[in-house]
């Protein structure tokens, strides 16, 4: 297959694909095999270029967000030690533009699960509903039974994913319309879906809708914030963390969050 060479400055494919944003890319040789929407493909980084199948240039550039102005984004990061070392560690990582449904569904399954296990569930769901390697549509999941989802190792999450799939498939919830709302409204609308709380809603805003200010707070980020920005303070509430992060990290807080998250996870703290 003929490959295209896409200019990709300020980009690190390994970091981008291994930072817990997406869970369905597999290392193969010097690159990665995966799927963008329903298109399977192989991508490989060579220096400042990204190699991808000829004809997929626009799809690939958009998915990997090669248009995000990283130097400008970095200039908005606070200069504290935690952020500085996270930037040093993660330079070139980009916030992927994921298909919204796939992102929403995957993060509904992510609660109280390690990244390795989220990958297994994603794989099982992709294999189990006839669209492999693409993620099954809301309609396809809505027609399935809870037992079929439980067979994908979802546990109690099966019920939530099924209920959300039915709401989206029926048109009761319009994911495209939500994309036209401002951040707060979109967040509130997402929150109405079963299995979607503040953290998952922010993941969908950030990774699905490209709202780069959205700041998901999970156990890792909670730990990072408490250890670095609330030293010696006890009883720091979730609300306190939310208000602080929104004010402190600014317009590209989602990027800051992802860098802090990945660095903390790799350092094992």
Residues from 204 through 223 that contact DNA (CB under 7 A): 216-221
Interface pick for DNA out of 5, 37, 156, 180 (rule CB under 7 A): 156
Q: Does 196 bind DNA (CB under 7 A)?
A: yes
Residues from 43 through 102 that contact DNA (CB under 7 A): none
Do residues 182 and 213 touch, judged by C-beta distance below 8 A? no
CB of 117 to DNA, least distance (A): 5
Return the number of the residue (56 or 258) whose C-beta is nearest DNA. 258
Residues from 4 through 43 that contact DNA (CB under 7 A): 19-21
Do residues 24 and 122 touch, judged by C-beta distance below 8 A? yes
119's CB contacts (< 8 A; 6+ apart) are: 23, 24
Q: Does 235 bind DNA (CB under 7 A)?
A: yes
Peptide bond into 133 cis (omega under 30): yes
- Binding letters toward DNA, positions 110-129, x by CB under 7 A: xxxxxxxxx-x---------
Strand 26-28, strand 31-36: pairing: antiparallel
Q: Does 170 bind DNA (CB under 7 A)?
A: no
Which DSSP state fits 208? I
Do residues 102 and 135 touch, judged by C-beta distance below 8 A? yes
Return the number of the residue (133 or 155) whose C-beta is nearest DNA. 155
Return d(Cα 197, Cα 194) in angstroms, integer: 8
Would you tell me which residues interact with DNA (CB under 7 A)?
19-21, 110-118, 120, 150, 153, 155-156, 159-160, 191, 193-201, 203, 216-221, 235, 237-239, 257-258, 261, 265
């Amino acid at each position: 297959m003929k490959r295209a060479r896409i200019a990709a400055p300020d980009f690190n494919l390994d970091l981008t694909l291994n930072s817990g944003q997406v869970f369905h890319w597999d290392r193969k040789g010097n690159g990665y095999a995966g799927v963008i929407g329903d298109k399977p493909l192989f991508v490989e980084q060579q220096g400042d270029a990204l190699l991808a199948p000829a004809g997929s240039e626009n799809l690939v550039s958009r998915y990997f967000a090669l248009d995000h102005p990283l130097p400008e984004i970095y200039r908005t990061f606070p200069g504290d030690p935690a952020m500085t070392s996270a930037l040093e560690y993660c330079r070139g990582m980009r916030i992927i533009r994921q298909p919204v449904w796939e992102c929403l569904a995957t993060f509904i399954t992510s609660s109280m699960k390690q990244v390795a296990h989220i990958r297994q569930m994603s794989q099982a769901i992709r294999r189990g509903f006839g669209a492999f390697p693409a993620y099954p549509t809301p309609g396809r999941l809505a027609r399935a039974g809870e037992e079929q989802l439980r067979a994908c190792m979802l546990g109690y999450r099966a019920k939530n994913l099924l209920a959300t799939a039915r709401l989206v498939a029926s048109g009761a919830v319009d994911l495209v319309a939500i994309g036209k709302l401002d951040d707060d409204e979109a967040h509130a609308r997402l929150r109405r879906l079963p299995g979607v709380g503040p953290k998952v809603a922010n993941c969908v805003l950030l990774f699905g809708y490209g709202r780069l200010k959205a700041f998901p707070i999970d156990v890792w980020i909670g730990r990072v914030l408490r250890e670095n920005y609330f030293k010696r303070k006890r009883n720091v509430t979730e609300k306190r963390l939310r208000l602080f992060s929104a004010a402190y990290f600014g317009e590209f807080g989602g990027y800051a969050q992802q860098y802090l998250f990945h660095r903390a996870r790799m350092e094992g703290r």
